[in-house]
Structure 1
């Protein structure tokens, strides 16, 4: 398969991952309004995203789509987790 096409798939998948993490904003709003959600999924999301960021960063050739798409997961997962427990 042509590398340019594969790279585009990687960036598209990254965009979809970011969209998935942005969906945590709804849960954050609910948590802040008193309708607390589970803290398990956002906690696991943070660990998962940190692992993927480390993987992408530590590769010989940095894997920027993986790094970029998992950064919002760390931030939004952490905020969702914190608003769910406090």
Structure 2
């Protein structure tokens, strides 16, 4: 694959990842309204996203911005979903 297709793939994967973690918003709303969900999955997702974000930040020779941007919403929304599930 050439550089153009890798760039398109990176953008598509970043958007798909962000949409996946934005889907936590409905679970957060249900948690806050009394229909509690399990805390395990969002905690694992947040931890996984922290690892991938760290990888992207420290990757050499340059940062991997698609990985970083794709995982930041997972950290934030995973932690919020975890915290509201109790």
Band the TM-score falls in, shorter-chain normalisation: over 0.9
Q: 5 Å matches for 1:8-47?
A: 8-47=8-47
Under a length normalisation based on structure 1, what TM-score does the superposition of the two structures give? 0.96
Q: 5 Å matches for 1:71-82?
A: 71-82=72-83
Per the TM alignment, residue 19 of structure 1 is displaced from its structure 2 partner at its CA by 0.1
Q: How many equivalent residue pairs?
A: 85
Runs of 4+ in 1 over 3 A off after TM superposition: none
Measured on the aligned residues, the alpha-carbon RMSD in Å equals 0.5
Per the TM alignment, residue 7 of structure 1 is displaced from its structure 2 partner at its CA by 1.3
Q: Which runs of 5+ in 2 are unaligned?
A: none
Q: 5 Å matches for 1:55-70?
A: 55-60=55-60, 61-70=62-71
- SS of 2:37 mapped into structure 1: coil
